[in-house]
Structure 1
Amino acid sequence: MKSRKRKHDPVVGIDVSKDTLDAGVLPSGEEWTSGQSPEEISAMADRIAALKPALVVLEATGGLELPVVYALVERGVPVHRAEPRRARYFARAVGLLAKSDRIDKFGLARFGASGELAPQTFPAEGTRQLDALTTRRRQLVEAITAETNRLGATTDPEARASIERHLAWLRGELKALEAQIEACQAADPETCAKVERLCSVPGVGKVTAAVLLSALPELGTLDRWQAAGLSGTAPLNDDSGKRQGKRRTWGGRKDARCALYMAALVGTRFNPVLRDVYVRLLAEGKEKKVALTACMRKLVVILNAMLRDGTTWRPTAPAAA
């Protein structure tokens, strides 16, 4: 979905680093640098809001960008957090081959001015802690997986004992964090209602619901194609001339895709709608991973429709958005 930008509205690009925020404005060419303290971020957000920009574009940098994103969103400024790879491809396409803070911020502004980007939805203030907790949970799960793999490849008794102690600590942290996630859900009535609605679907648990709500804050406001695209479950064509290539899924939000994968995997056993889709596609000769991806897509479309319509699960839940 492209942004609807008026011709002369300014567009701001922000290059984010650990200590500084470098802003560049098009078409005026105005630029300035700010620190990352709360006071400096607030001042930068006020300055940008006064420009009434059509869009502010910055790259996803692992969380360093979130304070300024939230400050801008609170002031009603439209923001797009661009995938770094996509932003870099655009810069190269328009001839920006070198890389510096100044080139990056104006490259991001040009990306925003191209009309290819639309304002994004970010977690509301009441769900930002939930977003942080689900992110931390993902990190712990990844650490547990890494240590488990190391344990399988280690034969030294002392090294194995060290890994096992670390695994025990990590699992304890994961259990405590999941309790915090449930408490965070219960503390916000709106979030609690959404979680209960999502958890009415066989295969979707409280942690999965929390991840989906934080990774896809737009859930409930999308059409079926947008829901599939943002979750990375939409099949993309690979055709040229008479050649019809294999459809593949690509992109989307990784956390949402991983949560949908686990929910769909469980759903193929215990959810009658997903089980029927899975069995039918296997009978048609589809690969298991193709059938499972189709179940993921079916699931996110159903969840989106449920939040949109305010309904709970029923086996005949609407698949259309």
Structure 2
Amino acid sequence: MKPVRWGILGAANFAKEQMAPAIHAAKGAELAALATSSPEKAAGFLAFCPGLKIHSTYEALLADPTIDAVYVPLPNHLHVEWTLKALTAGKHVLTEKPIALQASEIDQIIAARDASGLLAAEAYMIVHHPQWQLAKKWLEAGEIGTLRHVDAAFTYCLTDMENIRNRPEAGGGSLRDIGVYTFGSARFVTASEPVDIAARLILENGVDTFAQVSGIMDGPHGRFTYESITSMRLYNRQVVTFQGDKGMIRLDGGPFNANYNDIAEIELHQNGNKVITERFPTANHYVLQVEAFGRSVREGVAYPCPLEFIRGTQAMIDTVFKVGVEITL
């Protein structure tokens, strides 16, 4: 089957280090073009993909008739604009998270997607990883009994104040950067939505550097309590637990950055001190994401993480900003 030919808008470090190599390695994909006006930045991509075509502008890449799909790793506040431009140019588009800064903005992307018949998606890679799919399978199989509580934490310490995550005009803050993981992972595994939310936020220079969220979620597994902590000022920590009345599913060691800090691992704890551990040392969720995207484009397979799901997570973030109480420690 003909591979999907990819172009990348902008030579972001994350694109160079993660997504461009993933596109280059994925089955059914070909990394074909990059848009950047910087020869120095282009050099990092050409080092592992020497045949890459370099366009000096984003518009030139979108006008390239040989490109089927584009990946958008631009700063958060530019995501909606260039996602829509890519669709208008007739390109399938995978945009880095968050694809929008408000849930309502995603509606226009969905409308453009439907009108064009093209695939538009947010690069929410974790749902493609087997550890998260196994968590969902275990929960649905009743391995932990009745679900009672979910808690998630994602923290790291960012001291570079010039980083776009520390800039409000660029859509910075912990919730938009990593809240999509603590919220979205709970929604994905449980297929549930929040019915009550409370939050405490610490703001610095107009961005949330800490968010403590609690609430109640409801779905096919009934109602359960939920807690989340995100921060850009704490030591690295990533952990998610799903607790039932007969067991617990725990993802630790970097479940949102699988095999980066530690080997991807998931544990099933059950009565009688029984623990089942599954490890995934070779699974690359970025590669799996690109391959899933390609199957949807070439074979018409339903994309595992549609924009409608992404909108739900953004709506949850919107609510936290609305109800959150600013605190000072």
TM-score normalised by length of structure 1: 0.25
Which has more strand, going by share of residues?
2
Instruction: Compare CA radii of gyration and give the structure with the larger one.
Output: 1
Which has more helix, going by share of residues?
1
